Amino acid sequence: MEKKVSKRSRKEEEDLEALIAHFQTLDAKRTQTVEIPCSPPSPRLNASLSVHPEKDELILFGGEYFNGQKTFLYNELYVYNIRKDTWTKVDIPSPPPRRCAHQAVVVPQGGGQLWVFGGEFASPNGEQFYHYKDLWVLHLATKTWEQVKSTGGPSGRSGHRMVAWKRQLILFGGFHESTRDYIYYNDVYAFNLDTFTWSTLSPSGTGPTPRSGCQMSVTPQGGIVVYGGYSKQRVKKDVDKGTRHSDMFLLKPEDGREDKWVWTRMNPSGVKPTPRSGFSVAMAPNHQTLFFGGVCDEEEEESLSGEFFNDLYFYDATRNRWFEGQLKGPKSEKKKRRRGRKEEPEGGSKPACGGAGTQGPVQVVKEVVAEDGTVVTIKQVLTAPGSVGQPRSEDEDSLEEAGSPAPGPCPRSNAMLAVKHGMLYVYGGMFEAGDRQVTLSDLHCLDLHRMEAWKALVEMDPETQEWLEETDSEEDSEEVEGAEGGVDDDSGEESGGGLRRAPARGAWQVLCPRPPRTQPC
């Protein structure tokens, strides 16, 4: 039986390699770079959203989309001009193969370079996966892709994390999954940007257990923080148990030597995020790490349900402290609403939902026991519902006509984040409604200095998204177009539904089969 499974696994990998080669042949037909103004990209998750080091631009690459029957993978490159609020699709000859759950890091040298490592490709039916171990660089000044071949690098994987540290790329963790088995990693690699060589780091001390989809960020003091993530273990035949990690570690050079590293367990103070997977991370002003969204799954042997989030947290490495990001709301709105209430007659009707006491925010405090045994205190400020049935003042009416503040991005996992000039941008991701997976294509921004209100730059109505019910037929898996994802598709990414892998959950983050969702990328 083992020999049969191994043979089938090799055959599936060969089939995927042939499919990838077919797509690369199609991509090779491009002979010149073409920039095409376009509408916003189609829905997707597990893509990468990067900030141009010199221009006011965001760079979106790759990603996936699942429509209920087929998985679509992308290697498209889009550029969003922040000042002009415009999108451009950039077709470049010989790009990396289609993928999702990769890692992309921007460095400033040479007019800007976007380095991409790993990720995965899925068959159209979302049941077979190929993990990449290739390294690419996009030269932003010349708009050319280059594959950098160097031995001694990481094995093929998804859901890993990678950061730029001085003149190196530091890579940690991830996972590899096949029909036969799966494995999670906690190894650390360094790629030298001067010599183009890989090296394996062997830090001393006790480091994180194997995981994927974690937070990885560089501190002002020159260390690297790793927080959270996801992993799973086989508890009995054909039954796996997932773990949402909530521990934190610091990786730093020992005694200032770049050839010797050490792990240290950290115990940050403050209000920590609840344990979850599929969250997204970006570097905020003042060298703080911003943490957004994610999902907390309740796993059973044959099903998976989850609570999605759209909350914000910040980690201050200088103070080793977490704190939650709470929006203040526009000042003008508060002032006008106060004045409007003052002008009400004393005998005016009271709100139908409970009088003046319901107008203030309510703080809810609860305690959650993390997987390492520590107790996490969660504080959430809930805005009281509006005064149902109460006449609005003229000031309130005119305020709404002028445009009330956007409610912000809905709860989601595996969104793409980027910060430029103190503005946070959130694009795409996914959430679930019953057995349906909704893949998003909206774009929101938030001024992190003011922390007043979200602004919607691209809106999306999830109800308009096509969702195809699963069939018992395997005919779709034979169709090459399914994994290609053409220019005219309204598709985005990921696998979901049925017994599919939910990549968007902590395994390849930024993700995997559903139900149950097995990996957060």
Q: Alpha carbon 258 to chain centroid distance?
A: 30
Whether 352 contacts 359, CB under 8 Å: no
Strand-pair category, 34-38 with 86-91: antiparallel
CA 437/CA 223 separation, integer angstroms: 38
Lowest mean pLDDT among 141-155, 229-243, 347-361, 443-457: 347-361
3-class SS of residue 300: coil
* pLDDT: which is higher, 78 or 403: 78
Which of helix, strand or coil describes residue 351? Answer: coil
Average pLDDT over residues 101-124: 95
pLDDT at 269 over 60: yes
Name residue, tokens 């994994």: 483
Closest listed residue to residue 145, CA positions, set 134, 157, 156, 154: 134
Collapsing DSSP states into helix, strand and coil, what is residue 256? coil
What's the pLDDT at 104? 98
- Does residue 189 register a pLDDT over 80? yes
Token pair, residue 446, equals 């938030």
Tens digits of per-residue pLDDT, 350-382?
333 333 333 444 444 445 445 555 544 444 444
Q: Identify the weakest region by mean pLDDT among 136-140, 163-167, 286-290, 483-487.
A: 483-487
Pairing label, strands 215-218, 224-236 = antiparallel
CB 189, CB 201: distance < 8 Å = yes
Beta-carbon contacts of residue 336 (< 8 Å; ≥ 6 apart): 395, 396, 399
Contacts of 11 (CB under 8 A, 6+ apart): none
- What is the predicted pLDDT for the residue at 8? 63
pLDDT band for 77, please (50, 70, 90 cuts): very high
Q: State how far Cα 484 lies from the chain centre.
A: 22
Q: Per the structure block, which two tokens stand in for 183?
A: 């494995």
Q: Which amino acid is at 352?
A: A
Mean pLDDT rounded to a whole number for the chain: 80
Whole-angstrom distance, CA of residue 203 vs CA of residue 315: 24
DSSP 434: T
Please provide the size of the chain in residues. Answer: 521
In sequence order, the 6+-apart residues with CB closer than 8 A to the CB of 337 are 395, 396, 399
Structure tokens at 306: 């989850």
> Between 503 and 379, whose confidence is greater?
379
Q: What's the confidence (pLDDT) of residue 406?
A: 52
- The DSSP line for 312-334 is EEEEETTTTEEEEE-----HHHH
The amino acid that residue 56 corresponds to is: D
Report the C-alpha gap between 362 and 320 in whole angstroms: 28
Q: Which tokens in the block code for residue 457? A: 């730059």
Residue 514 has pLDDT above 50, yes or no: no
Domain at 275-328+409-464, CATH homologous superfamily: Kelch-type beta propeller (2.120.10.80)
pLDDT greater than 70 at residue 397:
no
User: What is the mean pLDDT of the segment spanning 454-468?
Assistant: 93
Which tokens hold the place of 506?
Answer: 């902590």
Which CATH architecture does the domain made up of 1-149 adopt? 6 Propeller (2.120)
Mean pLDDT check: name the lowest of 288-297, 367-376, 390-399: 390-399
Secondary structure of residue 354 in the 3-state scheme? coil
Mean pLDDT of the 398-417 span = 71
Residue 519 has a pLDDT of 52
pTM score of the predicted model: 0.79
Average pLDDT for 75-92: 97
Q: Tell me which H or E stretch contains 252.
A: strand 239-254
Please report how the helices 331-342 and 394-401 are oriented relative to each other, as an axis angle in degrees rounded to 10: 150
* Cross-strand partners of 165: 168
Contacts of 441 (CB under 8 A, 6+ apart): 40, 41, 42, 43, 44, 427, 428, 458, 460, 492
Indicate if the pLDDT at residue 5 is higher than 90: no
Residue 301 has pLDDT above 80, yes or no: no
Looking at per-residue pLDDT, the higher value among 24 and 404 belongs to: 24
* pLDDT tier at 4, thresholds 50, 70, 90: low
Cβ burial of 475 (10 Å; 0-12, 13-18, 19+) is exposed
Domain parsing of the chain, residue ranges: 1-149, 275-328+409-464
Three-state SS string over 44-85 comes to: CECCEEEECCCCCEEEEECCEEECCCCEEEECCEEEEECCCC
How does strand 436-447 pair with strand 224-236?
unpaired
Q: Do domains 1-149 and 275-328+409-464 have the same CATH topology?
A: yes
Percent of the chain with pLDDT over 70: 72
Report the C-alpha gap between 213 and 228 in whole angstroms.
8
Average pLDDT over residues 90-101: 96
Identify the H or E element spanning 398. helix 394-401
In this prediction, residue 30 carries a pLDDT of: 84
Residue, of 68 and 372, whose pLDDT is higher: 68
pLDDT of residue 377: 47
**Degrees (nearest 5) of the Cα angle 386, 388, 393?**
75
Mean pLDDT of 11-34: 84
Encode pLDDT of 194-243 as tens digits.
999 999 999 999 999 999 999 999 999 999 999 999 999 888 877 888 89
Q: CA-CA distance, 427 to 460, in Å (whole number)?
A: 11
pLDDT for res 238? 76
Q: Average of pLDDT values for 255-263?
A: 86
Residue 265 DSSP SS3:
strand
Tokens of residue 45, six digits: 């998750």
Q: In the structure, what pLDDT confidence band is assigned to residue 19 with cuts at 50, 70 and 90?
A: confident
Task: Tell which residue, 190, 188, 151, has the closest CA to residue 168.
Answer: 190
Q: Which residues contact 475 (CB under 8 A, 6 or more apart)?
A: none
